[in-house]
Every structure is written in C-alpha cells, then in structure tokens.
Structure 1
Amino acid sequence: MITLDGYTSRPAGSADVPAIHALVVDCERVLHGRAETDAEAIAADLARPGLDPALDTMLVFADDGSLAARAWVDRRSEVDVHPGHRGRGIGSSLLAWVEAGARRSGTARVAQTVPDADHAAVALMRAAGFEPVVTAWLLEIALPAEAAPPPPDGVTIRMFRTGDEHDAHRVSEDAFDEWQERRKGYEEWAALTVGRSTFAPDTSPVAFAGGEMVGAVLSLDEPDSPDGYIERVAVRRDHRGRGIARSLLRQAFAGFAERGRGTCTLWTHSDTGALSLYERVGMSVRRGSTVYRKELP
C-alpha cells in the first residue's frame, strides 16, 4: 500500500474502470487538450494475462473519496496522478511501488511510456534511474488524402468482414513478433482491436494473395473524436516492399474521409522502422513519447 498523509490506497478491480477512465481523461485533457483513451482500453489492461490486480495495481484516493492516482505494473507500467493532486509525492511513491512490485515478481526490467511534453514526469523517471530506450510518435494526416493506388499484381483488397478475425490476429501477431515482448493470444488481442465497440470494419481493409490474408489495417472510430484512428498495420513478412501497406492505408484514409473525419492518426515507434513508410503516404508527427526502462539487478 501507499502511505501518504490525507490519502488511502488499495488495489483496483473491474468496478473501478469508470473512475480510472475519468482520471486518465482528466490527465490527457490537461496535457493534450483532448481525451484519447477509452474505458475499454483500461479494462483490457486490467485483464492482461499474468496481471494480478490484487498485487499489480494500486489506486490512491483523497479524503473526499475521489481517485487521485492509479498505477499498474507487469513488465511495463503506467502511473497517472490527477492534475489536482500533483506535487504531493504521489507520483514518486507510486514509481517506487512499481519498482518494488517488479522486483517482487522477478522481472529483470520495468518500462513505462511518458509523453515528451510531460516534463515533470520525464524528470521523475530520470531521477528514479530510468533511461530512454524507444521513441514513439503519434502520426496524423489531413483528410481527404491522396487516392489509394491499385494493389500490386496478385493482391486483392477488401474491407474487413465477420470471419476475418483469426486470420487478422495471425497476420498482426506474426508481424509484431519482430519487436513486441510477447505474442498475444486471440482473446487479449481482440480486446484491443476487433472486439472493441469502436472497431470500424468499414475502414479496416485487409489484403489477400493466393487465397491467404497477407496484410491488414484495423481501425477504431471514436464517436466523439475528430480523428479516425488506426490501431494496427501489419503485412506478412514475405509480402513486404510491394506497396501493400500503402494501398491499405490509403483505403483506410478514404473510409474515414467518407465518415466525415478531418484527420486520421496512428502510433508507431522507432523499433518498428516504419516511420518512413508513414511519412511517404503523407503522415507527419503530431507529438512524441518516450519509453523509459530501468534494469532491475
């Protein structure tokens, strides 16, 4: 538990998702001017395989019962402190709790993504011995964008249909195996993609060659957001360099333009080596984040 004057703490449970979501949204609005995280993403975090909420999550409450901060740790960690409760030692206490929890579980290292614009959080991570290891970028493109080029010879593209779920999972996880820490099982993956209420199949094109799915762009459409959002871009390794990703992205952009979205966004990071691809289709960096990591002897 976290011991701070004027605050109490306990682990999180599924019933806390709305309060955690409200806290994260308040933090995002102060930092970015808009809310970007939905409650389903937070619920998916709490349901991650291997994460034990009783041991790996922590909520901090003010005397009036409002949620002041939250944290979880499972190789990666997240810590959010409500803007109205910063500067009182909650963030540093939770960061120490994260490190202690990671050590208890036997994890060799712990990592956390911090927005580059959050200078106080960056300073806190560096003071705690975390080092930058990966750069992440939120990319954007104004819509409507350039028309989609035809797919390469032997490749057909259509929008996602019911029944494509497991093929899309295979293509996505095969592509992400190159850099992600572990492969996600179908249920965990679906909770972040095709199983979400905001999944938009009509802006999620998939590519086929020889009767097999070889590429996919999986999109989300938040009703209250001016942006369309691409959650996954994946092309099977033996079909890369043929222009499939470019064709898929252009079709997704066109779908969001038809829905009236003024921009489309996606995240990528330096480990994927995909930044140049997105820049070639007309995307540019809206803002950056950095993954900080600490080795735990």
Structure 2
Amino acid sequence: MVSGTELPDLVPGLPPGYRARPMTAQDTGEAHRLVAACERALFGRVHTDAGRIAADFARPGLVPPLDTRLVTDRAGRVAARAWVHRRCEVDVHPDHRGRGLGSALLTWAETRARQAGSPRVVQTVPDGDTNAVALLRSRAYEPMVTEWLLEFPMPAEPTVPEPPAGITVRPFRPGDEHDAHQLVQDAFDAWQQRRQSYREWARHTVERPAFAPAMSVVASAEGQLVGVTLSLDLPDTGEGYVEQVAVRHDHRNRGIARLLLRSTFRAFHRRGRRTCSLATHSDTGALDLYLRVGMTVRHSSTVFRKDITQ
C-alpha cells in the first residue's frame, strides 16, 4: 500500500513532454495566472483573485505533497494544475488543451480521493466550457447543483432603501470578525455540508488581501449583528465582489438583505467601481432575491459529483 510521501509525484497518463509535481505555497502566483488565463479565454475577463487560490491551498486538512499537482511542459511553463480535498479543481491552460492533460489529472484526482477515503469527487465546471462538461459526463459524473455568477451594473449611484424599524447599518470594522463568522455559519447551516472553523472561514474572507471592510456592511439590532455582507475589491477585474451575504434567521423577510446589498453597491460605486458581482447556487434558494435587487446572471456553472466508493 502506498502512503504518506511515498505517493509518486508523477501523474500517470500524461502525454510526452509534460511533468507533474506537487504544488508549494510559492506556486500560488503561477496557479493564479493559469486560472486567469482559463477565465479570460472562456469569459473574456478574469474573476478569481490570487487570494482565493492561496486560501484554497491553505484548506485545513489539505496535504500539498499528496493532494496537489502542477503540470509543466518541456520549457518549464505551467500547463495545468489540480487539487483534491473534499472537492476537486482541475485547470488546463488554453494553449495546452486537447492533449489529454485534463483527463489524466481527473484520473489522478479520483485515485487520490479513493486513497484518502473520500466517498465522492465533486467538481464545479462552467456551463460554457463544453469540453470539460463532456469529459465529466463521459466519466459518469452527475449534476448536483447549479451555480450562478450575478452582476449589478452601476452607471449611476444605486439608491438605498430606508432601514427597517430598529435596524442600523454601518461599514464593517475591526472586532466584527468573530460575530460575522458565527452569523454566517448559522445562516448557512440549512445548505452547507459542514460548518467552517473561524480559521478556515477567515482565510476566504476577512484575511484575504482583497477584503474590503469599507465596502462590507453590517446590520445591527439592539447592539447585536443580524446581517452582514463581506466584500472583496478585486484588482484584476476592476469591480466589486460580494463574497458572502447572511441575515440571521429571526430577522429575515424584513428587507435587510436588500438593504445590505444596496448599501454595498453604493459603497463600491463611491470608490469608482461600476459593476458589482456575487455568486450563489441552487441550494441556497437566494437567486430570486438577487434578481429582485436588480442583479442579472452573467454565467452559470454546474457542480458535478461522482461516487467513488465502488
């Protein structure tokens, strides 16, 4: 049985001229450039920031020598990357597609997931990436949920509704972090598979370099946090991004989410941003809310799942 660092570094099935090795923290910049090239080719713009790549690499429990692979060509240029830990991401540079890299990395990810004792592999693929969708379907992956990236154009400063009675809003400030974490985890309990520790959550939100506290908004009632938006100012896109929106269960259906979002949009507009975006998926049931606020769908993705217990 192969275990620990005895796991071979090579990805079986790579075409001639390509080599694979585990990723290190120093590779996150190259990985971001790879993901950016993929997004630019598919969408005409970049959405993912380097902070998200670094946060994924630092996922609790992910063991980089075992759970990550970086593929380079003969010249040492990064051609593809993959990681697997509860879910999986595989990205192949547009200049290297059609050569079997994606298929080889997908096989490696499934093998590694089995070795780690995972019952399934989950991967999100943009619906516009028809080749990747076809590959997953050919490998017995099944659709699980739909994800949408929504946008809110802001040619003029957005209007903001009056707060409901007893509700005050203000920008996020130091000291809000742990209350915001608790609020988000409680609000997401209905659909997320597990609660995130503060450390894991913070890496994806308040500790990311792109975190924008001045464009993040909290709602309070009687001195307690009842709603929050956590925002990123993405340098590669020139637009604002709402990473998370949450309202406490006992304060829903009062217009607080709309108030938070509109306040966030206005804050970004005053910083010179003319578009704000956010992502949601079908398990949250929040799509209609965002559409009512005035957002529109920019593109959709599908989360695919494959059971690997057999």
Q: Same fold (TM over 0.5)?
A: yes
Structure 2 counterparts to residues 232-243 of structure 1, below 5 A: 232-243=244-255
Q: Are 2:57 and 1:57 aligned?
A: no
Structure 2 counterparts to residues 67-216 of structure 1, below 5 A: 67-143=78-154, 144=156, 146-216=158-228
Q: Whole-Å Cα distance in 2 between the matches of residues 224 and 90 of structure 1?
A: 27
TM-score for both structures, normalised by structure 2? 0.93
TM-score for both structures, normalised by structure 1? 0.97
Unaligned runs of 5+ in 1: none
Q: Whole-Å Cα distance in 2 between the matches of residues 31 and 254 of structure 1?
A: 29
Q: Whole-Å Cα distance in 1 between the matches of residues 160 and 62 of structure 2?
A: 41
How far residue 35 of structure 1 moved from its aligned partner, in angstroms, is: 1.6
Name the structure 2 match of 1:36. Answer: 47
Deviates more, 1:175-184 or 1:96-105: 175-184
Q: Are 2:231 and 1:219 aligned?
A: yes
Give the alignment's Cα RMSD to 1 decimal. Answer: 1.1
Deviates more, 1:14-23 or 1:118-127: 14-23
CA-to-aligned-CA distance 1:228-276 (integer Å, 9 cap, x gap): 1100100111111111101000100111111111111000110000001
Q: Are 2:239 and 1:230 aligned?
A: no
Q: Whole-Å Cα distance in 2 between the matches of residues 246 and 252 of structure 1?
A: 10
Deviates more, 1:140-149 or 1:10-19: 140-149
**Of residues 13, 17, 22 in structure 1, which corresponds to 2:33?**
22
**Of residues 267, 270, 275 in structure 2, which corresponds to 1:255?**
267
Q: Whole-Å Cα distance in 2 between the matches of residues 11 and 224 of structure 1?
A: 26
How far residue 84 of structure 1 moved from its aligned partner, in angstroms, is: 1.1
Q: Is the contact between residue 131 and residue 294 of structure 1 (CA under 8 Å) also seen in structure 2?
A: yes
Q: Whole-Å Cα distance in 1 between the matches of residues 80 and 158 of structure 2?
A: 43
CA-to-aligned-CA distance 1:129-175 (integer Å, 9 cap, x gap): 10111000011111136411111111111111111111111111111
Identity across matched positions, percent: 59
Q: Whole-Å Cα distance in 1 between the matches of residues 236 and 110 of structure 2?
A: 36
Q: Are 2:294 and 1:285 aligned?
A: no
* Matched length: 297
Instruction: Give 1:113's aligned amino acid.
Output: T
How far residue 210 of structure 1 moved from its aligned partner, in angstroms, is: 2.0
